[in-house]
Amino acid sequence: MIITLHLKLLLLFIFLLFLTNTSQLVFAKEQYNVSEACRITRYPDLCISSLAPFSLSEGRSLSKWARLGVSVTISEVKSVQTYLTRLKRQGHFKRRNKVALSDCIETFQYALDELHRSLSVLRRLSKSTFSTQMEDLNTWLSAALSDEDTCLDGFESNKERKIKLMRNQVLKAYYITSNALAFVNKLATTGLGSISDLDP
Ligand X SMILES: *[C@@H]1O[C@H](CO)[C@@H](O)[C@H](O)[C@H]1NC(C)=O
Residue 46: CB minimum distance to ligand X, A: 16
Which lies closer to ligand X via its Cβ, residue 29 or residue 127? 29
- For 195, counting Cβ atoms within 10 Å of its Cβ (0-12 exposed, 13-18 middle, 19+ buried), the class is middle
What 8-state DSSP symbol labels residue 41?
A: S
Among 10, 36, 45, 162, binds ligand X (CB under 6 A): 36
Other beta carbons less than 10 A from residue 69's beta carbon: 30
- 37 or 74: whose CB is closer to ligand X? 37
From 20, 22, 35, 129, residue interacting with ligand X (rule: CB under 6 A): 35
CA distance 70 to 116: 8
Q: Of 17-25, 33-41, 92-100, 126-134, which part binds ligand X (CB under 6 A)?
A: 33-41
Q: Does 33 bind ligand X (CB under 6 A)?
A: yes
CB 32 → ligand X: shortest distance, Å? Answer: 8
Is residue 21 near ligand X by the rule CB under 6 A?
Answer: no
150 binds ligand X (CB under 6 A): no
Q: Which amino acid does the sequence have at 166?
A: M
174, 145 contact by CB (below 8 A)? yes
Q: Does residue 135 touch ligand X according to CB under 6 A?
A: no
Helix axes 62-90, 161-190, angle to 10 degrees: 160
The residue count of the chain comes to: 200
Residues in the site for ligand X, rule: CB under 6 A? Answer: 33-36
